[in-house]
Amino acid sequence: MRQPVTIAHVVTKLELGGAQQIALYTVSHLDRTRFRPILIAGEPGICDDEGRYAGEEFYQVPSLVRPIRPLGDMRALYDLTRLFRRLKPTIVHTHSSKAGILGRWAARLAGIPIIVHSIHGFGFTRDQHPLLRWALIELERSVARVTRKFFPVSRATRRLGIELGLFTEANSTVLPPGIDPEVFCGMRVDVPAMCRKLGLEADRPVVGMIAPLKPQKAPVDFVKVAARVHQARPDVQFLLVGDGELRAAVEAEVAAQGLRGRFILIGWRRDIAEIMRCLDVFVLTSRWEGLPRVYLEATASGVPVVGTRVDGAPEVIQEGRNGYLAEPGDIGTLAAHVLSLLADPDRARAMGRSGAALALEYDIREMMRRQEREYETLLAEQAAHVFPLNVAGSPSS
């Protein structure tokens, strides 16, 4: 019988984001008779304790951080390469942009035979300076040449990667994020009691957003949406769950818009399934995404969604069926959609029920089975010395 194959998953920071939660779930649920999972994380995060117990082993590389710091990034590359050489995993699986670039180059330098990468969202965006965006795309192209397989989380992400020449149809497979439908669909909550626990009034509508407070999620836009809604519906309450670098900017905007007493910022929470039951409308104001896992959590909870039309969002949010989408930064349209749902509770509830049915298609257990099958295929190709061609037309190993 084959010994379990060591697989090292690498993330930049373990926080309560979708990419990190998928990595944690994967490491903790891989079939231990076939795989020996190791988790490697960079700078300290709120979920480090979960990481320590998720896989067979947990390693922290503090030099691996989100901001671009050339000297520090060279140190992180050196530290990761040393760690891979010591651990000797058969597969290195990286998540997100920074860990993806440095982790894959380190794996190559360490001689790791199989390198794969999950694209939860690209690090380059439309809003960046053209020179910075060009540089980040070139970095992705360079490291693509040492990557055996890509797992974009949405069809839109896959199309963009192929258009940019980062990978091909042959060496990429869409692997959407998953949720546990039983947790969200079957959750029973004493909503009035939960609302009081959150500082909300149980008899007033609640519009909420759950996201890290970072530029990608544009949380200040959510405050601006709340201000527009408040002008028309002063009875509505707003809840923002999350924390991060933009917390001070969010608090300043709340004060500037006169929303104190109607806008509650509660930081990181782990009881997301319970919180979702308290919401009448879920909002997400992201400027870019792969495929937001929180959309699946909201729809599985029976909450209609108002979000931005970014990347894979239209693959989950079907206009008029389980929510509405607007262009990123379009505060007026987002607010109008929220107000329309609040004005017609019966329609909002019907859309929530429709969304709950759609969310069943994204079962995280099926995601795990597909991922394990992908690993087995890669191992079989490695054993047979049959490798797909990479974007440059040469073997990707």
Contact 336, 231 (CB under 8 A): no
* Cβ within 8 Å of residue 346, ≥6 positions away: none
Q: Which of helix, strand or coil describes residue 337?
A: helix
Task: Give the start-end residues of each E strand in 77-213.
Answer: 91-95, 114-119, 149-152, 206-210
Residue with tokens 């959609």: 337
The residues pairing with 6 across neighbouring beta strands, listed in sequence order, are 36
Q: What is the CATH number of domain 181-359?
A: 3.40.50.2000
Give the DSSP per-residue string, 16-29.
SSHHHHHHHHHHHH
Contact 184, 359 (CB under 8 A): yes
User: Could you tell me the CA-to-CA distances from 34 to 30, 48, 261, 379 in Å, in that order?
Assistant: 8, 25, 53, 11
Q: Which pLDDT score is estimated for 123?
A: 81
Cα diameter, the chain: 67
User: Residues spanned by CATH 3.40.50.2000 within the chain?
Assistant: 5-178+363-384, 181-359
Q: What is the pTM of this model?
A: 0.89
* Cβ within 8 Å of residue 343, ≥6 positions away: none
What is the distance, to the nearest Å, from the Cα of residue 369 to the centroid of all Cα atoms in its chain? 19
Q: Which pLDDT score is estimated for 12?
A: 94
Q: What is the pLDDT of residues 295-324, one digit of tens each?
A: 999 998 989 999 999 888 999 898 888 999
Q: Which pLDDT score is estimated for 391?
A: 47
The residues pairing with 242 across neighbouring beta strands, listed in sequence order, are 267
pLDDT by 10-residue block (mean), the chain, 397 residues: 90 87 92 95 91 90 91 95 97 93 97 95 82 89 94 93 93 91 81 94 95 93 98 97 95 95 93 94 92 90 93 89 94 97 93 78 89 95 72 45
Q: Quick one: CATH architecture of 5-178+363-384? A: 3-Layer(aba) Sandwich (3.40)
| Dihedral over Cα of 198, 199, 202, 208: its sign | negative
